[in-house]
Structure 1
Amino acid sequence: MTDTTGGRDEWIYVVTDIEVDGPWPGPNSMRSFASVAVTAEGEERGTFEAVLEQLPGAAPSPDTFAWFQTQPGAWAAATTDPEPVDRVMARFVEWVRSLPGPRMFAASPIAFDGTWMDFYLRRFTRYGLVQGPYERDVLFDGPGLCLRSYAAAVTGRPVAEASPRHLPAAWLGDIPHTHRAIDDARGYAHLLGVLFGRARALRPPTG
């Protein structure tokens, strides 16, 4: 098969950050999240952000709530003017489906943010992050990308040292990591472009 893309990565990456009031989806709630859709070169293709109502019967974890009290700006951003969860998730699905494909979810780390997003998608929509092999109607086309793991692979650092506080601020676009979902998602979206660029530079020459 002839490669007609010139080696370009044609995927759209939906880089997402969440803010939650505890560690467990269900007993605790995701209070806000934001996504930035970018190309592998870091070119922005759209944004989504929302504040969600608490899940019925859920309550904040005392430890997480105590931490948020030290971050009043982040708590206000995550809780002001919340919307019904089913409406937010339906709108998110519509937004993702409006993006050109193929589309891949990305987060740092995906094991945490992805678990929450998958829980909310499956509870309130017919989609998930990774769907079965015989499902034709899927929201995301790929298996998902863990930016923290990818940063560790590209830089050679331990995974534990691939968080925002260990990476150069310029790699995150000099966007402060504020624990406001849209700020952090924008920083991670910029990081994705930087990491892909560094990975391309490491490729052996072809031909």
Structure 2
Amino acid sequence: MVFMTELYIATDVEADGPIPGPYSMISLGMSVAGRPDLSFYTEIKPISDDFVPAALAVSGLDRDRLVREAPTAQEAMAAVDGWIEGLRTIGRPVFLAAPAVFDGMFVHWYFHRFVGKSPFGGSGAGIDLRSYWMGMNACDWSGTHKSVIKKKLSLTGLPHTHHAAEDAAELAQVFTALLERNKDQ
């Protein structure tokens, strides 16, 4: 059996509401852990007229501009699917998010709705940073906030900006540091 290198694709979503379908994923960032040269970012035209103003405000994106200028969900998801499929020449893509429940819900739904399949498999399964940390450190859920993880890993200067590309890069750096720490133990 041939084993491929796993590529942990740190993923961040900005959305204008709590769930996909009634609300829209408005930007998507991905960054491969340990490979800052491998990243993807797209903004996405909203798929519905409904949005939660407070949720939209988190990203700072202009919804009217997205409606006018952003690629459609089908175009954006086809592009990200192509990018992920291209990574298969160097390794096996593995979804990574924090929290995987929120980001994974949008990514999985959007892939199935607009591409017909997910490059992460039928279940969209992947790694949740907080669950991984909890398992590795035998700690309670309350001790798994990303700020706590970054502090314990002595990571400074990694802000969480709510820009999908920057937050995906932040997550990739955190997970890379976590893997390095685990390798040393």
Bin the TM-score by the shorter chain: 0.7 to 0.9
Q: 1:93 to 1:11 in 2, by over 3 A?
A: same
- Which one-letter code corresponds to 1:125 in the other structure? V
Aligned residues: 178
* Secondary structure at the counterpart of residue 184 of structure 2: helix
Greater relative CO, 1 or 2 (CA 8 Å, sep 6+): 2
> Residues 162 and 77 of structure 1: is their aligned pair in 2 closer, same or farther, counting only changes over 3 Å?
farther
Match of 2:46 in 1: 54
Residue in 1 aligned with 2:61? Answer: 76
Q: 5 Å matches for 1:27-176?
A: 27-38=22-33, 42-55=34-47, 57-65=48-56, 68=57, 74-76=59-61, 81-99=69-87, 100-128=90-118, 129-131=120-122, 143-168=125-150, 174-176=157-159
Say whether the 8 Å CA contact 2:45–2:72 is kept in structure 1. Answer: yes
| Structure 1 residues 155 and 174: alpha-carbon distance in aligned structure 2, compared to 1, 3 A threshold | farther
Q: Unpaired segments of 5 or more residues in structure 2?
A: none
Which deviations, in whole Å up to 9, do the C-alpha atoms of 1:164-185 show, x marking residues without a partner?
Answer: 2323356556221011111111
Q: In the alignment, which residue of structure 2 is the partner of 1:188?
A: 171
Percentage of pairs with the same residue: 26
User: Within 1, Cα distance between the matches of 2:170 and 2:62?
Assistant: 17
CA distance in 1, matches of 2:155, 2:31: 13
User: Is the Cα–Cα contact under 8 Å of residues 175 and 186 in structure 1 kept in the other structure?
Assistant: no
Structure with the larger helix share: 2
User: Given that residues 36 and 169 in structure 2 are in contact (C-alpha distance below 8 angstroms), is that contact kept between their aligned partners in structure 1?
Assistant: no
Counterpart-to-counterpart distance in 2, 1:114 and 1:147 = 12
The whole-number CA distance in structure 2 between the counterparts of 1:51 and 1:179 is 13
Kindly provide the amino acid, as one letter, of the partner of residue 95 in structure 1: W
CA–CA distance in structure 2, aligned partners of residues 175 and 54 of structure 1 = 29
User: Counterpart in 2 of 1:137?
Assistant: none
2:23 counterpart of 1:13: no
Question: Could you list the per-position Cα deviations for residues 70-118 of structure 1 after superposition, in whole angstroms to 9, with x for gaps in the alignment?
Answer: x5xx313786542211111111111001112211111111111111100
Q: Is the 8 A contact 2:150 2:174 kept in 1?
A: no
- Give secondary structure in 2 for the equivalent of 1:46: strand
Report which of the two structures shows the higher radius of gyration computed on alpha carbons.
1
